[in-house]
Amino acid sequence: MKTVGLIGGLSWESSAEYYRYINMFVKEERGGLNSAKCLMHSFNFAEIVEMQHNGEWEKATQAMLEAAKTLERSGAEAIVICTNTMHKMAEVIEGNVEIPLIHIADATAVKIKEQRLDTVGLIGTNFTMEQDFYKERLKKHGIDVVVPDERDRQAVHNVIYEELCQGVIKESSKNAYLTILSRLAEKGAQGVVLGCTEIPLLINQKDTSLPLFDTTYIHSNAVAEFALK
């Protein structure tokens, strides 16, 4: 079994889900007392959020790269960024380590294409919805992306940072998200990528008939598959 290096703490709530899912998939495949071989570098999320909102992306990139190199030196055989937004630095990390990076958007694209969809909505942080690093990665797989309008984007973003990353789950926020999903469907989305690893804490497939792509679950599955090869 290969050892995977997890860059977590982005937030710890979603990192805990990664750890749970990866080990669950390994146990399902191997049975018995088997669990995943993992290393984790866990950030103080408050420091990362400050960099994000101050636009200090170069500083954040350096922190992420140092984490990846530390994991590589410690014996990791692949890098896993346990969040969507910080995949903004994925290409820099890919270019500066010798081991593969298992990209969340690549894993998600596989699942989208399995359902024969070519246009999806994307919800996540403003950074993920408004910048190109994530949308362009999906487009390389032939998948078009639509995002909410400005007001809805801000609503999604605020719930992530002010509630979900702090372990707060509100029924009113769930209803607001489901309304936003309906508006994305009206814009042509055949399914929606839950492009923030905290969002599945709030909504899941049983809440809507629109196909949802839980990136935490999908990415964790891809990581387990790599580890078990």
Structure tokens at 186: 């009206």
Whether 165 sits among the annotated catalytic residues: the reply is: no
Strand partners, 41: 7
Q: Which of 85, 128, 196, 197 is catalytic?
A: 196
Return d(Cα 10, Cα 48) in angstroms, integer.
8
Return the residue matching tokens 């960024």.
81
Q: Which of 82, 83, 85, 197 is catalytic?
A: 83
Length of the chain: 229
CA 174 to chain centre: 19
Answer for the pair 43, 67: CB distance below 8 angstroms, yes or no: yes
Q: Where are the alpha helices (DSSP H) in the chain?
A: 12-30, 45-53, 57-73, 90-94, 104-114, 126-130, 132-139, 150-162, 171-186, 215-228
SS3 202: coil
Whether 196 sits among the annotated catalytic residues: the reply is: yes
Other CB atoms within 10 Å distance of the CB of residue 190: 19
SS3 148: coil
Q: Judging by beta carbons within 10 Å of its beta carbon (0-12, 13-18, 19+), is residue 1 exposed, middle or buried? A: middle
Catalytic residue ranges = 83, 196
